[in-house]
């Protein structure tokens, strides 16, 4: 929301590039095999008993090893990975291509799970880009400003 508020306060265009969430989840559930649904529900129940410390440790580990986590998700939950990651990467990349034709510079905010996939697709389409991950933003030290630049911050507190 900070990025949207910043853009709107400077009358910059904002575009939403993701798919409709309700349609996405309906499609995912309808195409998911029974045993994958069962595995998902069991994972959800066991997740209720995981400590906050363990969740925080897993989040740090995820940030250090994005691709291996996505690979693991793909093995355990192939429908989820295909629907929530791969298909959305394709959709969002297509939207970016359309926006790239209209605008010289675009700033996008996507979840970490989409960064490598969208990056690969943009490279294939020979669209130049720069990637800044959330972890980099969290570690970013604000430089002295002469007022000619703007910034926003993201504060995240794990539950």
pLDDT, tens digit, 9 for 90 and up, residues 22-45: 999 999 999 999 999 999 999 889
Q: Which range marks the domain in which residue 28 is found?
A: 2-139
- Residue 147 domain-assigned (yes or no): no
- Residue 156 domain-assigned (yes or no): no
What is the distance between the alpha carbons of residues 125 and 97, in angstroms, rounded to a whole number?
Answer: 8
DSSP string, 100-116: HHH-S-------HHHHH
- Residue 21 domain-assigned (yes or no): yes
What is the distance between the alpha carbons of residues 156 and 75, in angstroms, rounded to a whole number?
Answer: 29
- Residue 71 domain-assigned (yes or no): yes
- Tell me, what DSSP letter sits at residue 15? -
Could you tell me the pTM of the whole model?
0.74
- Residue 83 domain-assigned (yes or no): yes
- Residue 151 domain-assigned (yes or no): no
Closest Cα to residue 14, out of 88, 107, 86? 107
**Based on the structure, what is the number of domains in the chain?**
1
Are the CB atoms for 13 and 99 separated by under 8 Å? no
Closest Cα to residue 124, out of 97, 142, 150? 97
pLDDT digits (tens, 9 = 90+) for 108-144: 888 888 999 999 999 999 988 888 877 776 676 554 4
């Amino acid at each position: 929301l900070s990025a949207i508020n910043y853009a709107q306060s400077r009358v910059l265009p904002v575009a939403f590039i993701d798919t409709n969430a309700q349609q996405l989840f309906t499609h995912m559930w309808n195409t998911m095999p029974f045993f994958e649904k069962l595995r998902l529900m069991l994972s959800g129940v066991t997740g209720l008993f995981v400590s906050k410390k363990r969740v925080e440790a897993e989040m740090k580990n995820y940030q250090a090893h994005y691709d291996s986590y996505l690979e693991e998700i793909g093995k355990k939950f192939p429908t989820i990975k295909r629907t929530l990651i791969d298909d959305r990467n394709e959709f969002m990349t297509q939207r970016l291509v359309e926006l790239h034709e209209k605008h010289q510079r675009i700033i996008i905010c996507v979840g970490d799970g989409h960064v490598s996939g969208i990056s690969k697709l943009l490279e294939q389409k020979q669209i130049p880009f720069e990637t800044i991950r959330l972890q980099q933003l969290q570690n970013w030290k604000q430089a002295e400003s002469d007022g000619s630049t703007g910034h926003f911050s993201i504060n995240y507190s794990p539950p």
